[in-house]
Amino acid sequence: MAYTTIDKPSDYFNTVLYTGDGSSSRTISGVGFQPDFNWSKSRNSADYDHNVADSVRGTSAYYLKTNTDVAETGNPAAGYVSSFNSDGYVLTAGGSNNTNYNNNTTTYASWNWKAGTSFTNDASSTGIGTIDSAGSASDTSGFSIVSFTGTGSNGTIKHGLSTAPSMVIIKRRDSSNDWRVGSDGLTNWTKHVNLNTEAAQSDLASAFNSTAPTSSVFSVGTSPSTNASGGTYIAYCFSSIKGYSKIGGSYVGNGNVNGSFIYTGMKPSFVMVKRTDNSSGSRWLILDNKRNTFNVLNKNILADASDAEVDVDRGDFLSNGFKTRSTGSTVNGSGATYLFMAFAENPFVTSSGVPATAR
């Protein structure tokens, strides 16, 4: 059996960098595929939030912000992703400028994922789950986007994948609630962390009903953040694919500059890390291979803050994983535990037996 089923990871995930020009309409190209999920952040300005758009909620001005708990906005006074195309997406300004995505001279990082096949699920008819859902899913890349309306009662929701997700990120769309993250990389599925805060993992049985996902459904409890009656929600579900992604992994820091090595089975192009045992230094750190073209990785963006990118040495991307090179608590506190998700630049070994090279 081949080591991996994805020889070209950039067919499913890719980072694009660009500089805003302030125009009222602009196409961002170079993604290499039609994205279903776009996450963008200004690099040199703290004035603009992280913005998330996806093909399931639609591109008619609806974006969410990973660094806040605010509801989905349908009034794009500062611009939005207006459509996806075969090599990227189109930005359209709201008002006189597109500050979130295209402010003149502002630099941006744009992370893009491809989902796949659209689905709808009438739970009462199919017998899959107890709450109706619709979305887009790719078994090949282990990623799905799921939209559902809450019932206020413990329930299960079809995620569209054939393997159990290792991480589920849920955001309520119609109300201000924290982004809830459940993962195999936490102590259990009674625990959660918030994508928009630096809080450590904590108990919230009502978020995911203390139940790990199965190969067909994920669970929600009665928390308003994941399943209020009549509330509208979006869920991003990720499962690990050998040679392409490592989702919901965990590691323990050693507090040394010669830090911990974390095996992923591929050369990463993107890593997001979160300390889970303590709120000290417990930020959602994003590193990628486009902003950091060589080791040591030092271009830091925080998913839970609007802060501008800062230069702090964090670690190395290797042919089969990543290594921390920091004594700081954000990535390598002594005895601290960390949750991470990673996507590949290259598999460790391709399906034809070609090994990845180091940077």
pLDDT tens digits for range 118-159: 999 999 999 999 999 999 999 999 999 999 999 999 999 999
Q: What does the pLDDT look like over 39-68, one tens digit per residue?
A: 999 999 998 999 999 999 987 657 899 999
Segment 191-212 mean pLDDT: 97
**Does residue 23 carry a pLDDT above 70?**
yes
171, 206, 238 — which closes off a domain? 238
If phi over 0 gives left and psi between -120 and 50 gives alpha, with beta otherwise, what is residue 337?
beta
pTM for this entry? 0.96
Q: With left for phi above 0 and alpha for psi between -120 and 50, is residue 210 left, alpha or beta?
A: left
Q: Do 182 and 266 share a domain, yes or no?
A: no
Mean pLDDT of 168-179: 97
Q: Domain ends where: 218, 238, 258?
A: 238
Contact in structure between 269 and 333 (CB atoms under 8 Å): no
Domain extent, residue 300, equals: 245-347
Q: How many domains does the chain have?
A: 3
Examine the domain organization and report whether 57 and 145 are in the same domain.
no
Long-range residue pairs from 119-127, CB within 8 A, at least 24 positions apart, any chain: 119/158, 119/160, 121/158, 123/158, 126/158
245 contact partners, CB below 8 Å, separation of at least 6 = 13, 141, 142, 238, 239, 266, 341, 342, 343, 344
CB 54 within 8 A of CB 44: no
Domain boundary among 113, 134, 157: 113
Position 355 in a domain: no
Instruction: Please check whether residue 92 is in contact with residue 79, taking contact to mean a CB–CB distance below 8 angstroms.
Output: yes
Shortest CA distance to 72 belongs to which of 91, 53, 96? 53
30: amino acid identity, one letter: G
- Structural domain contains residue 56: yes
Residue with tokens 């994920």: 218
User: Using an 8 Å Cβ cutoff, are 240 and 293 in contact?
Assistant: no
Q: Which residues contact 198 (CB under 8 A, 6 or more apart)?
A: 279, 282, 283, 284, 304
